Amino acid sequence: MAIRHLSQRELAARWNISHRTLERWRWTGEGPRYIKLGGRVVYRLEDVEEYEREQIRESTADHPSRPAA
């Protein structure tokens, strides 16, 4: 089974956000895990889907529960 990767622009399109937002998130340590190969940044689809699952909330009172790295 091949691992699927998304480019920064592909992920930005998936979430309908600016690719600059993803750049800022990497700078601040937010967002999904990523891989940097040389100067190229890619996101493994499995990491993106995991991050999406972590963002599911029942109410606005819910807080993110991302484990510390």
Residue 24 falls inside a structural domain:
yes
Residue 69 falls inside a structural domain:
no
Structural domain tally of the chain? 1
Confidence (pTM): 0.80
Residue 60 falls inside a structural domain:
no
Report the distance separating Cα 63 and Cα 56, nearest Å. 10
| pLDDT attached to residue 1 | 66
Residue 47 falls inside a structural domain:
yes
Domain that holds residue 34: 5-54
Report the distance separating Cα 16 and Cα 29, nearest Å. 20
Query: To the nearest 10°, the Cα dihedral for 54, 39, 16, 26?
Result: 40
Note the pLDDT tens digit of each residue in 15-61. Answer: 999 999 999 999 999 999 999 999 999 999 999 999 999 999 888 88
